[in-house]
A and B are shown apart, each in its own frame.
Chain A
Amino acid sequence: MFKESTLQKNEAQTGQDVERASERPVYVPRADIYEHADRYEVIADMPGVDENSVDITIEKKVLTLSGRVTVPTAEGWTLRHAEYGIGDYFRSFQLTDEVDENRIQARVKNGELRLTLPKIEPVRRRIDVKSAG
């Protein structure tokens, strides 16, 4: 499904969704999305991020994930070889009307963010049928 060459971190392109506030690079976290009968699950790879450095916002049906990497840098070490960069994460998703924004849950473990987006429960209305007679 994935070719080797697509496994590297994706740096966000400036000017699209991301406004860079610093020289730190911004990466688009790799994500999986699953749909269940009652919910959506979003799983995003955000290595270096924990529950205190991730921000999840919803505005006008747009879900935005941003994460600040706080892994201790290699202080006192000289970097000799780098195949990936270290920076922050940013990605947004357009939500459908069926997502219940008030019940979204998120957790982070081992640099992996998991979001549960419950669907709005269908409203069932019972119409009383009166006898005409």
Chain B
Amino acid sequence: MQDLHNRIRSSSVDTEAYPAVRLHQKEDEAMLQTELPGIDPAAVNLHVQDDHLTLSFERSAENTGDGRALRIERPVGKYSRTVRLPFRIDAARVEAVFMKGVLSVRLPMVEDDKPRKIQVKAS
């Protein structure tokens, strides 16, 4: 346990929540990435509401037939993770891409929340 904590600190990992995510930002949108190796992208559920995104999926145990497990390290089970953003997400424009076991989700800000430039008129 001690060892694991040291490792996490040294790799600057912030939390132990699973699945671990990376969050990126651009002017008026965010992008979340997470690693879901071996998961069928069709079995990943994404739910967006207001300012949060919930990601859930299930990783079922290997169907090994007559096989005997010598080592099991890969997680099995149902997982869910909710990430809250500092703005409301425009659900209709959310795009998700799954490539090589890495899921990338683009989360645009709703129009109303975008920063606006207000023209000051001379009176």
Binding site for B on A (CB under 8 A): 1-2, 4-11, 25, 30-37, 40-41, 43, 45-50, 70-72, 74, 76-86, 109-112
CB distance from B79 to the nearest CB of A (A): 9
Binding site for A on B (CB under 8 A): 1, 4, 7-8, 10-26, 30-31, 33, 35-41, 62, 64-77, 98-102, 104
Contact B21 A81 (CB under 8 A): yes
Partner of A83, one of B10, B20, B66: B20
B33 contacts which chain A residues (CB < 8 A)?
A: 74
A32 contacts which chain B residues (CB < 8 A)?
A: 62, 69, 71-74
Contact A80 B23 (CB under 8 A): yes
Given contacts A71-B100, A78-B25, contact A9 B71 (CB under 8 A): no
Name the CB-closest residue of A to B99.
Answer: A71
Contacts A11-B11, A41-B67, A111-B102 supplied; 6 other A-B pairs, CB < 8 Å: A7-B75, A45-B37, A45-B74, A82-B13, A85-B12, A110-B98
17 inter-chain pairs at a CB distance below 8 angstroms, sorted by A residue, are A4-B17, A5-B1, A7-B16, A8-B8, A34-B64, A34-B68, A37-B66, A46-B37, A48-B100, A49-B101, A70-B100, A79-B22, A80-B24, A82-B13, A83-B21, A84-B20, A110-B98
Contact B74 A6 (CB under 8 A): no
Name the CB-closest residue of B to A50.
Answer: B100
CB distance from B37 to the nearest CB of A (A): 4
Contact A34 B26 (CB under 8 A): no
Contact B12 A5 (CB under 8 A): no
Contact A111 B66 (CB under 8 A): no
Contact B68 A110 (CB under 8 A): no
Q: How far is the CA of A35 from the CA of B20 in the complex (A)?
A: 30
A49 contacts which chain B residues (CB < 8 A)?
A: 100-101
Q: How far is the CA of A74 from the CA of B99 in the complex (A)?
A: 13
- Minimum-distance CB pairs A-B, first 10: A111-B101, A112-B38, A77-B24, A83-B20, A34-B67, A47-B101, A47-B35, A111-B37, A45-B37, A84-B20
